[in-house]
Amino acid sequence: QVQLVESGGGLVQAGGSLRLSCAASGRAFSILRMGWYRQAPGKEREFVAHINWSGGSGWYADFVEGRFTISRDNAYNTVYLQMNSLKPEDTAIYYCNARMTHIASDYWGQGTQVTVSS
């Protein structure tokens, strides 16, 4: 069993910044990668970014356009998403995602709301 808990969402003006965190907890798991998805009202959930636990290489959606940086803390099983130059279209619920090395199904957090005002 693995639990993912997100934090760091909130209300920010366009051009501002937020830093999201997601901590994984449980017993006897090994992380393959962790990342972030988001879902805006009336839209499908979409990929934002993920990071490989071994090596720390990251992958970003095209719309990020260099504005976001994903990072990890292996010791605390935590992934971060630093979001800069936020736009109103970034408004969404952001969900943490984790894939384990020997577990078939992905894990999901409950989500944290990000609201960007114009």
CA pair distance 74, 114, nearest whole angstrom: 25
Q: What is the pLDDT at residue 28?
A: 85
> What is the CA 71 to chain-centroid distance, rounded?
10
Per-residue pLDDT of the chain (118 residues), as tens digits, is 899 999 999 999 999 999 999 999 998 899 999 999 999 999 999 999 999 999 999 999 999 999 999 999 999 999 999 999 999 999 999 999 999 999 889 999 999 999 999 9
For residue 24, list its beta bridge partners.
Answer: 4
Q: What is the pLDDT at residue 1?
A: 83
Q: What is the pLDDT at residue 79?
A: 98
CA pair distance 56, 5, nearest whole angstrom: 20
Q: What is the pLDDT at residue 2?
A: 94
In the chain, the N- to C-terminal Cα span, in Å, equals 40
Determine how β-strand 112-117 pairs with β-strand 10-13: parallel
Q: What is the DSSP letter of 116?
A: E
For residue 79, list its beta bridge partners.
Answer: 22, 72
Query: Nearest-5° angle of CA 104, CA 93, CA 45?
Result: 50
